[in-house]
Amino acid sequence: MGVTETGRASIPEEIPLPLEVRVHGRGGQGGVTCAKLIATIYAEQGLHVQTFGDYGSERTGAPIRAFARVDTVPIRNHNKVYRPHHLVVLDAALLGDDVLDGAEPGAVVLLNTARGLEPFADRHGRFRFAAVDATAIARRHGIGTSAVVIINTTLAGAYARAMGLPWEAVERAFAVQGLARDLPAAREAWDAVVSRAADEGEAAPVRRAVPAPNVIGIAEHVEDLPNPLRTGSWRTQMPLYLSHAAPCNAGCPAGNDVVGFVQALATGGVEAAARVLFRTQPLPSVCGRVCPAPCMSACNRGAYDGAVHIRGLERWIGDHVDAEGVRPPRAANPRRVAVVGSGPAGLGAAFALASLGHDVEIFEGESCLGGVLRTGIPAYRLPEEVLDRDIGRILALGVTARTGTFLDAAAIADLAATRDAVIVAAGLQRLTGLEAPGVLLPGVLQGIRFLDDVKRGAAPRLAGHVVVAGGGNTAVDCARTALRLGAASVTIAYRRGRKEMPAIGPEVDEAVAEGVKLALHRQPVRVLGEGRVQSLELAEVELGEPDASGRRRPVVTGRTAAIPCDALLLALGQAADLSIVPALPNLFTAGDMATGDGTVTHALGSGRRAAARVLASLDGEPDPVLPRPDLDSLVAPAHVRFSHFHVEPPHAERHRIGAHALGFDEVNRGLDGPSEASRCFSCGACTHCDTCMLYCPEGVIHRVGQGYRVDEAFCKGCGMCVAECPRRAMAMVQEASAR
């Protein structure tokens, strides 16, 4: 191949040959392709070209260079370009001595800038300058992504115009490189580029002598060397250490900091965990036994190898913590509040108020505190001494208890007159009956009364076949208690299926293991017997359309069958008796009376909220809104890096089986240790696991105190730390300049 005369003739005389072009950009902007396009434009004019990139750390934002050489003869040398005739700068923030290094007066600098030529006239007068806002043009044409606009093709159009190359050569080059799609943007830049001539007579540039960096011997360090590439203005987003809401916390009706106490248990032990738990939870030993644990249903580990056994851990803390309740300092403006009812809602309210140093009296109709916890939950599930211990801790806060005092509406009104406020948490006093012929026969009992009698030592004698109607915890408690009292066999008749039973799942499992039979999709429709119940007619129930709660509505059919029955226990639900609550401004309700949610944990949360409402009301403030996390800030399974965690199935609680042998000794002996806590992912809360630090490709994340610091001067915003964070304790946030 000889000299290409047509090639020389096809480009403007001002362009020297051999020509050397240097492109400066940042990883992600497409600088190498820009140099390639420029070379292709000349190649399409019949000239020899050579083009290559100076690949750097190949990460977004790292400064990169690319080169093009043009000549009429084949180009032999393979070194980089040190005396560029043309400089193409893809990011105006890069423009500095190192970019201009080696360029002689009269060299052409093409700059991607939104600021036009003006800002560069004073400092760089010796160069011919051309400017175009390639970023805006490329963004308008949708080249790249919303975060990173790729401007190489746009800038190539501006280059051709600034250097006086024909548009047809641009079109051919884009076609050769398969980039014809970007031609409209290149054409817009071709039209928009502005330039000015170089000033004459200025001194040659003074080249900065850059001393070679001092290289540390490889044998002298084991850590990676700090990366010398400053970020400049390229970054569009930054990582931030940001806690997100764990699903367990969001799912706890009592408002407990679940991930907080589990992590505290894992890292600080029982006392540390108890300090977190006691902020909101006065009954850890109770809830650790009887809570349906919505936290566990929400646990992200459930999508991996089984939910963390949170309930078991709560029990472990409650049973093993040494801390006695300590009387808190009195509030600055102590309030005097009466709490009527000592079930979980009343205890929750009393605990919340007393913890803040207010004066609280509890009024309980029964002889012992505890409400339904005392009367309605059998001892084999919740031993008396466990309940006493939790309640003792509440009383130690200075709460006064008056037991054996049933208060009617008038008494409550009197109380309200002499107290700052009264919280009524009397629970559900009305029992749902069965509408069926024969329910008045002896042997048909309300389950809740039956359980209460058993707790008082006034248990009826049972024999033969006992049927329990219902599917909640009371039904299961009745069934298992009946077995313990000598029933030969027990059947639970429930109108929906096994999955629909509101009772705690493992409790049902235990009941079945103890011998309780389930008659599902069955409803008692007639009680038969002479003088007392002797048999029961059960109707088949079909599931119809979903009702308001989303559960399918049961439809009783005409298909019936009679079974022998020596006692029928009704556990069909309860309702509040609101007639005891007079309408007074300083009177508040809490618990099932107010919400009817029917679990200890809901009642505790309700009691705590009632306490907050009371205080806000007495201070003349609006009702406090307890924050609930929004869905976007929740940690979902997809946010958890499962690969960071070993597969380790949940630890099981130790259950003893055998209703007759055990009697009313506690069946569930709990976890055999607190190590289950180490299974917690700590969703949304940093554990200082160092993953971010280890994965940072720039090595610019450092440990600082109890957390980390990201060196903003060097962070390229690649997002690897956030992507690798096992638990969503970080987030990428848009830079203010990129918003």
Partner 1 sequence: MSGQLLSANHAAAIGAALAGRANRTGRGFVSGVYPITPSTECMELLCNQEIEKGHVVRVESEHSAMAVCIGGAAGGARTFTTSSSNGLAFMAENVVAAALLRLPVVMVAANRTLGPPWNIWADHGDTLMLRDTGWIQMYCADNQEVLDTVLCAFRLAEDRRILLPALVCQEAFVLSHTMARTHVPTQDEVDRFLPPLDLPGRLVGTARIVGGLTVPQTTEVHRAQHHQAMGRFFEVYREVQDAFEAVFGRRPADPVVPYRADDADVLVVSMGTIGSTVERAVDVAREKGIRLGALRVRTFRPFPAELLAAAFRGRPRIAVIDRNVSLGFGGVLWGEARGLADPGAVVQGYMIGIGGGDVRPEHVLALAEDVASRQAAGAPVLMEAGA
User: Minimum Å distance from CB 674 to partner 1?
Assistant: 42
What does the DSSP 8-state code read for residue 51? E
Rounded Cα–Cα distance for residues 257 and 530 (Å): 56
Quick check: 48 binds partner 1 (CB under 8 A)?
yes
User: Minimum Å distance from CB 80 to partner 1?
Assistant: 5
Side-chain half-sphere exposure of 163, counting CA atoms within 13 A: 28
Cis bond upstream, residue 622 (ω within 30): no
Quick check: 46 binds partner 1 (CB under 8 A)?
yes
Q: Scanning residues 220 to 259, which ones bind partner 1 (CB under 8 A)?
A: 224-225
Closer of 81 and 291 to partner 1 (Cβ) = 81
What are the tokens at 236?
């569009």
| Burial environment of residue 74 by CB neighbours within 10 A (0 to 12, 13 to 18, 19 or more) | exposed
725 Ramachandran zone, left/alpha/beta (phi>0; psi -120 to 50): beta
Adjacent-strand bridge partners of 49: 70
User: Minimum Å distance from CB 32 to partner 1?
Assistant: 8
Distances (CA, A) of 206 to 44, 65, 197: 36, 21, 20
Closer of 224 and 509 to partner 1 (Cβ) = 224
Q: Scanning residues 507 to 546, which ones bind partner 1 (CB under 8 A)?
A: none
User: Minimum Å distance from CB 232 to partner 1?
Assistant: 20
Per-residue three-class SS string for 378-443: CCCCCCHHHHHHHHHHHHCCCCEEEECCCCCHHHHHHHHHHCCEEEECCCCCEECCCCCCCCCCCC
Quick check: 80 binds partner 1 (CB under 8 A)?
yes
Q: How many CB atoms lie within 10 A of CB 534?
A: 17
Quick check: 49 binds partner 1 (CB under 8 A)?
yes
User: Minimum Å distance from CB 97 to partner 1?
Assistant: 17
Rounded Cα–Cα distance for residues 258 and 700 (Å): 33
Rounded Cα–Cα distance for residues 280 and 275 (Å): 10
Q: Which stretch binds partner 1 (CB under 8 A): 77-85, 568-576, 585-593, 708-716?
A: 77-85
**DSSP annotation string for 557-571:** EEEEEEEE-SEEEE-
User: Minimum Å distance from CB 190 to partner 1?
Assistant: 22
Distances (CA, A) of 622 to 167, 560, 613, 618, 726: 70, 56, 8, 10, 40
Quick check: 218 binds partner 1 (CB under 8 A)?
yes
In our burial notation (b when 16+ CB lie closer than 10 A, e otherwise), range 17-26 reads bebbbbbbbb
Q: Which stretch binds partner 1 (CB under 8 A): 48-56, 387-395, 506-514, 562-570?
A: 48-56
**Nearby residues of 318 by Cβ (< 8 Å), 6 or more positions away:** 274, 277, 283, 284, 285, 286, 287, 288, 386, 389, 390
Q: Which of 24, 26, 36, 128 binds partner 1 (CB under 8 A)?
A: 36
Q: Which stretch binds partner 1 (CB under 8 A): 45-53, 109-117, 474-482, 623-631?
A: 45-53
Which of 289, 311, 287, 288 has its CA nearest to residue 299?
Answer: 311
User: Minimum Å distance from CB 700 to partner 1?
Assistant: 17
Rounded Cα–Cα distance for residues 52 and 652 (Å): 63
Q: Which stretch binds partner 1 (CB under 8 A): 33-41, 193-201, 365-373, 720-728?
A: 33-41
Q: How many CB atoms lie within 10 A of CB 582?
A: 16
Closer of 74 and 201 to partner 1 (Cβ) = 74
User: Minimum Å distance from CB 734 to partner 1?
Assistant: 31
Site string for partner 1, 164-203 (x = CB under 8 A): ------------x---------------------------
Q: Which of 75, 512, 662, 689 binds partner 1 (CB under 8 A)?
A: 75
Q: Which of 4, 432, 489, 633 binds partner 1 (CB under 8 A)?
A: 4
Q: Which of 8, 15, 52, 241 binds partner 1 (CB under 8 A)?
A: 52
**560 neighbors 538 (Cβ within 8 angstroms):** yes
Quick check: 7 binds partner 1 (CB under 8 A)?
yes
Quick check: 51 binds partner 1 (CB under 8 A)?
yes
Quick check: 54 binds partner 1 (CB under 8 A)?
yes
**Residues found in the chain:** 739
Quick check: 55 binds partner 1 (CB under 8 A)?
yes
Site string for partner 1, 196-215 (x = CB under 8 A): ----------------x---
Q: Scanning residues 262 to 291, which ones bind partner 1 (CB under 8 A)?
A: none
Compute how many residues bind partner 1; rule: CB under 8 A: 31
User: Minimum Å distance from CB 51 to partner 1?
Assistant: 5
Closer of 172 and 196 to partner 1 (Cβ) = 172
Q: Which stretch binds partner 1 (CB under 8 A): 35-43, 102-110, 135-143, 617-625?
A: 35-43
Closer of 58 and 712 to partner 1 (Cβ) = 58
Closer of 21 and 482 to partner 1 (Cβ) = 21
Rounded Cα–Cα distance for residues 101 and 580 (Å): 89
Which of 414, 418, 394 has its CA nearest to residue 346?
Answer: 394
Quick check: 406 binds partner 1 (CB under 8 A)?
no
Quick check: 33 binds partner 1 (CB under 8 A)?
no
Quick check: 104 binds partner 1 (CB under 8 A)?
no
User: Minimum Å distance from CB 707 to partner 1?
Assistant: 29
Rounded Cα–Cα distance for residues 167 and 173 (Å): 10
Q: Which stretch binds partner 1 (CB under 8 A): 217-225, 239-247, 263-271, 382-390?
A: 217-225
For 469, phi then psi, to 5°, come to -100, 125
Q: Scanning residues 665 to 694, which ones bind partner 1 (CB under 8 A)?
A: none
Quick check: 50 binds partner 1 (CB under 8 A)?
yes
Q: Which of 19, 34, 39, 340 binds partner 1 (CB under 8 A)?
A: 39
Q: Which stretch binds partner 1 (CB under 8 A): 39-47, 393-401, 479-487, 694-702?
A: 39-47
Q: Which of 31, 53, 674, 726 binds partner 1 (CB under 8 A)?
A: 53
Closer of 19 and 307 to partner 1 (Cβ) = 19
Q: Which of 29, 40, 154, 285 binds partner 1 (CB under 8 A)?
A: 40
**70 neighbors 21 (Cβ within 8 angstroms):** yes
Which of 460, 484, 428, 383 has its CA nearest to residue 597?
Answer: 428
Quick check: 28 binds partner 1 (CB under 8 A)?
no
Which of 351, 361, 282 has its CA nearest to residue 323?
Answer: 282
Residue 268, SS3 per DSSP: helix
**Nearby residues of 241 by Cβ (< 8 Å), 6 or more positions away:** 686, 707, 708, 729, 730
**DSSP annotation string for 598-627:** -SHHHHHHHHHHHHHHHHHHHTT-PPP---
User: Minimum Å distance from CB 714 to partner 1?
Assistant: 18
Rounded Cα–Cα distance for residues 718 and 699 (Å): 12
User: Minimum Å distance from CB 58 to partner 1?
Assistant: 8
Which of 606, 681, 690 has its CA nearest to residue 244?
Answer: 681
> Which chain residues interact with partner 1 by CB under 8 A?
1, 4, 7, 32, 36, 39-40, 43, 46, 48-55, 58, 74-80, 82, 176, 212, 218, 224-225
